Structure formats: structure tokens, C-alpha cells
Amino acid sequence: MKAICVDDEELVLFRTVSLVKKTKLFDSIESFTDAFEALSYLDEDTADIALLDIDMPGMKGIDLASNMKEKCPGIKVIFLTGYSEYAVDAYALHASGYLLKPIAYDRLLSEIEYAMESGTGSIGGTSNGMEEKLEAARVKVETFGYFNVLVDGKPVNFKRSKAKELFACLVDRRGQFITRKDLFYILWEDDDYDRAKQKYFDTIIRSLKDTLDEYDISDVFEMENRQMRIIPERMDCDLFRFLDNDEEAIKNFHGEYMNSYPWAETTEGYLTMN
């Protein structure tokens, strides 16, 4: 496999390349400090994954990723940045990963492995292995229309509506870690992240964890260093199937995604365009 690393800061780029080499997953790794040079590289060659800084002169990482996908549609993109505020734009572009600097090796390895695994489904449908895994999943998540979670075919009863919305938000991010603070501002928009609200958010998180424990599905949720995520491999979700080009999921999408959650409009727009 081939990887491309792009960052206008040479020392940061050197460290990124070193970490990618450490994974021993790639036959070749190309590095660029100039976004336009990285894009030109794809005129004559291909790559499986690109690790991009976002805040770069000349061409921002978001724009670079979009242009790369036009030249190399199958390329996976992981953003490495010091700015969490770009996350919404990154996921609207269907980024495979989003990591905040400084980058830890174990987190980078996890994101790369997830990015490459998420693309194993064949065009026009998921692979047999993926189909078998999804059929065996106890947890089914419905995002087209209204958001619902089912375990063994029965709806999950969330004690607090915000706990359900929190879980929905994590599903929308497709397994990427998100900080508590970023989640708060997604769920409560312009509200103040003061001490009282942080305590209330603690209550919501506990409620979510209690519900998952009650249904014996706590293994679909992970918290680490004040960040959290869901684990996509442990659930069957129409959104994930759609993004893996599953014909049935594509047929079942009728332009509605997680109705009643305003923050879901970005993803809904992306699904509609595709």
C-alpha cells in the first residue's frame, strides 16, 4: 500500500512519516510540504491513504482532500491538525479519521487500520465477510429518517433524550474519537460550557453508559482521555452500509437522516449529493 503525508511544517512532517513507517503497513510513503506538489503527484501515481494537515498556506487540507478524491476516488483521508473546529467540515468530506496534534502512535495506528478496513467492501455491495459480521451484530442502528437503536430486534429505551442524542452524534462520527467539549457544543450549540453544564453533561454520559450496560452492549462505546467514540465494527448501521456502497442501504435512503437533530443536516446533505 502507498501513503501520502502532507504538512507545511517540516519537523511535524518528519514525525508523521516516522510514525507511519513504524506501522509497517505501507510499501511506500511520499511526503510533501507543499499541497500543490502532493496533488500533482496523483496525476501520475495513486495512493491508498493520505494524512493531511488542515491549516496550510496556499491550499487548506480540506480543499486538498477534496481535490485528491477527484483524482484518486478510492483514497482514504486522515486529518492531523491542531484545530478541532474543522471537524464538521472534515466529516462532511467523508474523512476516514481526524486526529488532534500532537499525534500519539497508538491512536494513529488505530485510525489507519480503521480507515483501511472501512474500505474493504466491494463497489455495489459489502464483502461476504462484512455481511456475515453485520448479520451477527446484536446492535442495529437506524439513522435514515429518525434515529433508533435496536438490540436483538427490540428498541433500546434511553432514559434521557440527550443520552440518545449523544449516542446518535457518536454514530454520525463513525467511530472517530471526539472530545467532551466538542460534543457539548454540538449538542447544545451556543450554550456556555461552564462548570454547571459540565456536571450536567456528566449526568448525560452516565445515563448513556447505564443504558448500554442495561442492554449488555457496553462494548460498542469507548471513553479515553476525556474523548469518546462508538465502535462501528460492533453494530449494523444503515449509514455505514451506505458509505460502503451497499445497494440495499442506498436504495433505503430517501433524503432524510436523523430527523430532529439540527447538527445532522451536514451529513444529510453529503448523503443526498451522493
Position 122 pLDDT exceeds 70: no
Query: What does pLDDT average to over the chain?
Result: 85
pLDDT in tens, 165-209: 999 999 999 988 899 989 999 999 877 888 888 999 999 999 999
Whether 161 contacts 146, CB under 8 Å: no
Sign of the CA dihedral with 237 first, then 189, 176, and 125 last: positive
Rg (CA), the chain: 19
Gap between the Cα atoms of 43 and 252, Å rounded:
36
Position 123 pLDDT exceeds 50: no
Q: Supply the pLDDT for residue 105.
A: 86
Q: Supply the pLDDT for residue 131.
A: 43
Position 116 pLDDT exceeds 90: no
Q: Do domains 2-117 and 128-273 have the same CATH topology?
A: no
Q: What CATH topology corresponds to 2-117?
A: Rossmann fold (3.40.50)
**Residue 84's pLDDT band (boundaries 50, 70, 90)?**
low
Give me the phi and psi of 36, to 5 degrees please.
-70, -35
Number of other residues whose CB lies within 10 A of the CB of residue 119: 15
Q: What CATH topology corresponds to 128-273?
A: Arc Repressor Mutant, subunit A (1.10.10)
Top-confidence residue, 25 or 125: 25
Distances (CA, A) of 222 to 176, 208, 261: 10, 12, 22
Amino acid making up residue 206: R
Written as nine digits, the cell of 41 is: 503527484
Whether 140 contacts 150, CB under 8 Å: yes
Alpha helices, DSSP H, located in 127-193: 128-136, 161-172, 180-188
Among the ranges given (96-110, 186-200, 231-245), the one the predictor scored with the smallest mean pLDDT = 96-110
Whether 156 contacts 139, CB under 8 Å: no
Q: Supply the pLDDT for residue 28.
A: 95
Q: Supply the pLDDT for residue 141.
A: 96
Q: Supply the pLDDT for residue 95.
A: 63
Instruction: Write down the residue that cell numbers 457518536 correspond to.
Output: 170
As beta bridge partners, residue 5 has: 31, 51
pLDDT in tens, 35-57: 999 999 999 899 999 999 988 99
Beta strands in 83-194 (DSSP E): 97-100, 139-142, 148-151, 154-155, 178-179
Instruction: Write down the residue that cell numbers 491550499 correspond to.
Output: 59
Residue 58: strand, helix, or coil: coil
User: For the chain, what are the domain ranges?
Assistant: 2-117, 128-273
